[in-house]
Each structure stands twice: as C-alpha cells, then as structure tokens.
C-alpha cells in the first residue's frame, strides 16, 4: 500500500470522527502532519472497539490484534491495513517509543469493562494512560527527543482533553449503559469534581509553557478547546444534559484561532 492510499484513509477517519484534534494538527508542518494523522486514526480504530463488539472478550481480541500489529511493525513487518501502514511510517520517521503504544493499549482495556472507575484516581490513570500517552506520542512526532518537561506537558494536555471529553460524552455513554464517572463520589458532585481535575491538568500544562518549544503547539492546542467546553459546562451548572451544551459555540473557534495566532494555549 502506497503512502497516498493510507494517508487518504487516515485523513478521512480523523476528519469524520476527530475533527477537533484535526484542527490542532492542521497547524503542524506538513512533514509532521502525516504522522500525527496516522496516530489519531489509530486512536479512533481503538476507541471505537467497544461500540463494535457485543462482549469484552471480543474487544480484547481486537486489542490483541493491534498489540501484535505494533510488535510486528517494530520487527519490520506491516500488516496490510491502511492505519497500520500509517503507524509504520510514523514509527520509522519519528522513532516513536514502543512502550508508549503498549501503555496506551493497556489503558484502553478499561473501555471494555462494564463498571465505572472506582475512584477519581482510577479515572485519572485511565485518562493519562490513553489520551495522555497518545499526546506524548504526538510530542515525539513534533520534537526530536522531547525533554521531560515537554513530555509531561503533552501528557497533561491529553489527560485534560480526555477528562473533558468524557464529561461531554456522558449522555452518549449513558445510552450505552456505560459510565466513566467515579463510583465513590456523591452523585451530585461527580461532574464538577471531574471538571476540576481536568482544570488542574490544564493548569499544569500551561505552567510549563515557558519551558516548552513552540513546535509542540499542535499537541498543546486541545487545551483551548477543552477549556471552552469546561467553562460552558460550569455555566450550565455542571448538568451534562443541559440543552445549551449541544449548541455550536462560534466563540470556541474564535478562541482557538486566537491561540494559534498568539502561539499560546
């Protein structure tokens, strides 16, 4: 499979299913953008698994296929799958860390469980291990040998993005009989507490800004979108069912592109 073929598939997947992060990736240099799109397409392939299977065992089989695929890529063999070809390209071009893929796929096993996280700490670990790890992989694409501060900042952004996204997806998850809200928190405090945790990770990432190269901006910009969503949720009294949350926010786009122009997040 040639590059144009897998890139077309990956771009289409991300455009249809992860358009917000595609906006962030669009500000990256072209030679980096291709690898970033491959990572986001891979993320979608994994994230959609719970919706495609009827039981956890079938989901684990799909996850294991991807574990084997990643291992095969690092051994020099790429299965005939467009996203796998995209990953192989990214791994070769950017020397991506295999252990981060392992951590990511381990974290995704939680999606197949029928029980919510027991505690806020468990939810945070899930967010760090999935979106946080993915964002660290994106940092490896954008920077040559990113330092510890850049890695931590990228992981904090991914964690905040995941927590914010899970809050926005509460109605959808409820329709599937799933919940990512910590079981040990009082019912009327769960949403606000998770939102507060997301805010802490955003603050940590922003505090690192003086020590993070501008070239990491595409991986840091999700903060601008998550921050808007969390502020809107707060204005709605942390009620995920409030109809106002479903209305498009044009201010969100203006805020995002203002961050791009200023190269800040």
Residues in the chain: 265
Q: What is the mean pLDDT of residues 134-145?
A: 96
Q: Grade residue 246 by pLDDT with cuts at 50, 70 and 90.
A: confident
Q: Residue 265 above 70 pLDDT?
A: yes
Q: Residue 250 above 80 pLDDT?
A: no
- At 254, list the tokens: 């203006």
Higher pLDDT, 263 or 193: 193
**Percentage of the chain surpassing pLDDT 70?**
95
pLDDT number for residue 211 = 87
Residue 26 backbone dihedrals phi, psi, to 5 degrees: -65, -20
| Buried b / exposed e along 39-78 (16+ C-beta atoms within 10 A) | bbbbbbbbbebbeeeeeeeebeebbeebeebbeebeeeeb
- At 167, list the tokens: 């809050």
Cα four-point dihedral sign 28, 108, 88, 146: positive
pLDDT number for residue 253 = 67
Q: Write 134-137 long-range contacts (CB < 8 A, 24+).
A: 134/39, 134/43, 134/104, 134/158, 135/161, 135/219, 135/222, 136/100, 137/39, 137/96, 137/97, 137/100, 137/101, 137/104
Q: Grade residue 51 by pLDDT with cuts at 50, 70 and 90.
A: very high
pLDDT number for residue 4 = 87
Q: Residue 254 above 70 pLDDT?
A: no
pTM of the complete model beyond 0.85: yes
Q: Residue 5 above 70 pLDDT?
A: yes
Q: What is the mean pLDDT of residues 108-119?
A: 94
**What residue ranges define each of the domains in the chain, with the CATH number in brackets?**
1-97 (no CATH), 114-265 (1.10.600.10)
Q: Residue 264 above 90 pLDDT?
A: no
What is the average pLDDT value for the chain, to the nearest integer? 93
Q: Grade residue 248 by pLDDT with cuts at 50, 70 and 90.
A: low
Within 10 Å of residue 100's Cβ, how many Cβ atoms?
19
Under 8 Å CB-to-CB from 66, ≥6 apart: which residues?
A: 42, 45, 46, 105
Distance between CA atoms of residues 185 and 170, nearest Å: 16
pLDDT digits (tens, 9 = 90+) for 156-207: 999 999 999 999 999 999 998 899 999 999 999 999 999 999 999 999 999 9
Distance between CA atoms of residues 114 and 56, nearest Å: 9
Distance between CA atoms of residues 11 and 15, nearest Å: 6
Q: Residue 230 above 70 pLDDT?
A: yes
pLDDT number for residue 245 = 79
pLDDT number for residue 249 = 64
pLDDT digits (tens, 9 = 90+) for 23-36: 999 999 999 999 99
pLDDT number for residue 87 = 97
Cα torsion 71, 77, 78, 80 to 10°: value is -120
């Amino acid at each position: 499979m040639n590059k144009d073929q897998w890139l077309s598939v990956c771009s289409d997947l991300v455009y249809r299913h992860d358009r917000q992060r595609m906006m962030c990736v669009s500000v990256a240099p072209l030679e980096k953008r291709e690898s970033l799109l491959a990572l986001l397409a891979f993320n979608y392939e994994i994230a959609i698994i719970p919706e495609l299977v009827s039981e956890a065992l079938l989901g684990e089989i799909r996850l294991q296929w991807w574990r084997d695929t990643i291992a095969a890529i690092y051994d020099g063999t790429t299965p005939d799958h467009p996203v796998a070809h995209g990953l192989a390209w990214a791994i070769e071009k950017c020397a991506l860390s295999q252990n981060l893929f392992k951590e990511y796929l381990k974290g995704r096993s939680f999606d197949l469980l029928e029980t919510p996280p027991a505690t806020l700490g468990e939810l945070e670990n899930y967010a760090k291990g999935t979106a946080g790890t993915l964002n660290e992989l994106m940092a490896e694409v954008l920077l040559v040998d990113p330092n510890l501060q850049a890695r931590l900042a990228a992981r904090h952004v991914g964690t905040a993005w995941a927590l914010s996204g899970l809050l926005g997806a509460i109605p959808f998850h409820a329709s599937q009989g799933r919940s990512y809200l910590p079981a040990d928190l009082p019912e009327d405090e769960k949403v606000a507490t998770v939102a507060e945790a997301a805010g802490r990770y955003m603050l940590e990432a922003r505090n690192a800004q003086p020590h993070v190269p501008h070239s990491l901006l595409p991986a840091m910009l999700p903060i601008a979108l998550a921050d808007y969503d969390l502020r809107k949720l707060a204005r709605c009294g942390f009620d995920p069912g409030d109809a106002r949350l479903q209305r498009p926010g044009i201010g969100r786009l203006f805020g995002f592109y203002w961050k791009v122009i200023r190269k800040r997040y």
